[in-house]
């Protein structure tokens, strides 16, 4: 299983959710650590990132052999999720 590397902003957003939503995001992150390319994920055009949906939330992430890097967690219909991701991540 991969190691989880989550940005401060994503962790802060996740921590502020209600208990039910917090658990939903946590379950999805664990699933992404095991399989980072599930059928319900998609590559973001022009970016090394992918996105996965969890209820009304979206997770923007990328991965390699050892790490799942979570750049953003936000509302699904909020374009700010994409605008605020870290574009210069190595």
Q: Spell out the per-residue pLDDT of the chain, length 90, in tens.
A: 899 999 999 999 999 999 999 999 999 999 999 999 999 999 999 999 999 999 899 999 999 999 999 999 998 775 665 565 545 544
Residue 73: inside a domain, yes or no? yes
Spatial contact of 33 and 50, defined as CB atoms under 8 Å apart: no
Residue 90: inside a domain, yes or no? no
Residue 53: inside a domain, yes or no? yes
Residue 17: inside a domain, yes or no? yes
Query: Which whole-number Å values give the CA distances from 77 to 57, 81, 88, in the listed order?
Result: 8, 9, 24
The pLDDT assigned to 83 comes to 61
Residue 61: inside a domain, yes or no? yes
Residue 18 sits in a domain of what CATH number? 3.30.2310.20
Number of domains composing the chain: 1
Residue 69: inside a domain, yes or no? yes
- Using a cut of 0.85, tell me whether the model's pTM lies above it: no
Residue 59: inside a domain, yes or no? yes
The pLDDT assigned to 64 comes to 96
Residue 71 parent element (H or E): strand 67-75
Which residue segment(s) compose the domain that 56 sits in?
3-83
Residue 9: inside a domain, yes or no? yes
Cβ atoms < 10 Å from Cβ of 71: 23
């Amino acid at each position: 299983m991969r190691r989880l590397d989550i940005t401060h902003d994503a962790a802060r957003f996740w921590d502020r959710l209600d208990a039910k939503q917090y658990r939903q995001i946590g379950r999805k992150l664990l699933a992404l650590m095991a399989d980072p390319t599930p059928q319900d994920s998609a590559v973001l055009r022009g970016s090394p990132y992918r996105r996965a949906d969890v209820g009304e939330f979206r997770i923007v992430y990328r991965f390699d052999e050892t790490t799942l890097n979570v750049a953003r967690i936000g509302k699904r219909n909020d374009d700010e999720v994409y605008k605020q991701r870290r574009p210069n991540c190595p």
